[in-house]
Structure 1
Amino acid sequence: MPALVSKSLRDYRRSLIRWTIGIGAFFTLYLSFYPNISENQEIYGPQALAKFPGAMRDLMGGMEDFTSGIGYLSSVVYQLFGPMLFIACAMILGNRAIAQPEESGTLELTVTLPVDRRRLVFERFVALVLGLLAVTVATFLLAWALSAVADMGVAFGRILAAHTGVFLLALLCGTLSLAVGAATGHKGLAMAVVGVVAVGGYIVETMGKNVDWISWLRWVSPFHYYLDGEPLYQGFPVGNYLVLAGATVVLLLTAILAFDRRDVGV
């Protein structure tokens, strides 16, 4: 493993452990509620959820049925809260690649070393991928085990498909954070951009299904390529996931070119 990648992963170690514990606690908490919810059809069944305002149901992915295992996972865990936690993790890791060390003054020392700038950005990206992948694998295994214990009846492959989508969505946002940081050197701006893209993209994707004047924006929302394929119901939406992966590559190339041409004060 390249030295810069291994050093970055060592620097990220405590953060990755905390994020794994935090996201794991989220999965444990919410999946522990399922047995009680599944027994209360009159409160959480389709007829009860249909009484909620349409806008609220749209924001929560339709809220069709909390009492089925797949409906609960889709609406409560993999619709909004789970992806946003992963996006926050990836955004912070992306910021730590370039923007944070530049603002703290440590990046100037790094770029004086005999390391090509393009290689520096790429290896920091590799560390981002590996770190986020470690969190994803650990939480996937936990989610699968908890769903099996709760007898949710959701196939291993469907949970894997959903978790893969969350990983790709978060990786795109983390790479966006890296790219903005590489282009500007400001971690606050990078966080703001990712926040707007993530929150705005989610609102556009969920509300755009029933609001005509913003429906066209769904095609530029990263959430569209995660949610539209319904991985828990349909399995791997290969085309959509390739779009997320392709957009990530474009952002990585943008980050490399922007940082290679920018003065960082040395």
Structure 2
Amino acid sequence: MPALVHKTLRDYRRSVIGWLIGISAFLSLYLSIYPSIRNNPEFYQQAALSKYPGPLKDLMGGLADIASGTGYLQTVVYQLLVPLLLIMFAMTLGTRAIAVPEEEGTLELTMTLPIDRRRLVLERWAAFALSLLAVALVTMVLVLALAAVGGLKVPAGNIVAAHAGLFLIALFFGTLALGLGAATGKRALALAVGGGYAVGGYVIETLGKSVDAISWLRWVSPFHYYLDGRPVFQGWPVGDYLVLLGATAVLAMTAMLAFERRDVGV
């Protein structure tokens, strides 16, 4: 393993552990509730539908099948809340690759290493991606275990497929934040632009299904390629995931080029 990747992984260790504990606690809390919903599905289904008005219900994924194991897993884990947490983690980690050390004045030391700028960005990105992958793998195992214990009756292959999409959407936005940080050296700007795109993209994808005026924008939302294939219900949407992978690769290459060509404020 390259020395810079190894060092960066060590630097990220506390953040990774903290976010992993937080996301795991969230998953454990909400998935442990399902047995009570399974035992009284009509009540909880009606309660969920009456609690949220139309547009908000759309933002939550429709809630039409929340009393089933598959519908509950989609709504609670894969629709909004866990993607939001993992994207926040990914973007926070992404800005720590270039923007944060540049603002703190520590990037100069890293740039004294005998590697060019492109490789520096690539190895920082690799450490970020490995950290995100570790969190995704551990939480996937946790979901598989809790789904089995709680009797959700969701095929394990579909959970793996959905969690792969969760990793890919977080990887995309984390890479976007890394790229914006590499291009500007500004952590706040990277988080603001990346976060705005994430929120806007999610709203467009969920509301665009019922609002014709914005439906065409769904194709430019990363969430379209994460949610539209419904992997919890239908398995692997290979084409959609390849789009996310390709877009992430473009962002990573753009980050390397942008950092190589600008003056670094260290």
Specify the TM-score bucket, using the shorter chain as the normaliser: over 0.9
CA contact (8 A) 2:205 2:221 kept: yes
- Kindly indicate whether residue 164 of structure 2 is the aligned counterpart of residue 193 of structure 1: no
1:115-264 alignment, distance < 5 Å:
115-264=115-264
Bigger drift between 109-118 and 133-142 goes to 109-118
Which secondary structure does the structure 2 equivalent of 1:78 belong to?
helix
The residue aligned with 1:30 is 30
CA contact (8 A) 2:42 2:67 kept: no
State the distance in 2 between where 1:186 and 1:48 align: 44
How far 1:53 moved relative to its partner? 2.6
The residue aligned with 1:109 is 109
Alignment-mate amino acid for residue 218 of structure 1 = R
Per-residue CA shift, 1:148-201, capped at 9, x if unaligned?
Answer: 000110011010011000000000000000000000000000000111111111
CA contact (8 A) 1:39 1:67 kept: no
1:53-68 alignment, distance < 5 Å:
53-68=53-68
- Kindly indicate whether residue 81 of structure 2 is the aligned counterpart of residue 91 of structure 1: no
How far 1:59 moved relative to its partner? 0.6
The residue aligned with 1:41 is 41
How far 1:264 moved relative to its partner? 0.8
What is the number of equivalent residue pairs in this alignment?
A: 265
Q: Which runs of 5+ in 1 are unaligned?
A: none
Alignment-mate amino acid for residue 193 of structure 2 = V
How far 1:120 moved relative to its partner? 0.1
Q: Which runs of 5+ in 2 are unaligned?
A: none
Which secondary structure does the structure 2 equivalent of 1:223 belong to?
helix
Which secondary structure does the structure 2 equivalent of 1:61 belong to?
coil
State the distance in 2 between where 1:217 and 1:180 align: 22
What is the alpha-carbon root mean square deviation over aligned residues? Answer: 1.1
CA contact (8 A) 2:166 2:226 kept: yes
How far 1:56 moved relative to its partner? 2.0
How far 1:41 moved relative to its partner? 2.4
Alignment-mate amino acid for residue 237 of structure 2 = P
CA contact (8 A) 2:158 2:235 kept: yes
How far 1:113 moved relative to its partner? 2.6
State the distance in 2 between where 1:164 and 1:153 align: 19
The residue aligned with 1:74 is 74
State the distance in 2 between where 1:203 and 1:13 align: 33
How far 1:43 moved relative to its partner? 2.3
Q: Name the CA shift for 1:50/1:24 in 2 (closer, same or farther; >3 Å).
A: closer
Per-residue CA shift, 1:108-144, capped at 9, x if unaligned?
Answer: 2211332210000000010011000000000000010
Q: Name the CA shift for 1:124/1:18 in 2 (closer, same or farther; >3 Å).
A: same
How far 1:251 moved relative to its partner? 0.3
Per-residue CA shift, 1:204-256, capped at 9, x if unaligned?
Answer: 00000011111111101111100000000110100000000000000001100
Alignment-mate amino acid for residue 114 of structure 1 = P
Give structure 1 regions of 4+ aligned residues with deviation exceeding 3 angstroms: 47-52
CA contact (8 A) 2:58 2:206 kept: yes
Calculate percent identity across the aligned residue pairs.
65
State the distance in 2 between where 1:44 and 1:77 align: 17
Which secondary structure does the structure 2 equivalent of 1:209 belong to?
coil
1:11-26 alignment, distance < 5 Å:
11-26=11-26
State the distance in 2 between where 1:149 and 1:262 align: 53
CA contact (8 A) 1:166 1:226 kept: yes
How far 1:265 moved relative to its partner? 3.5
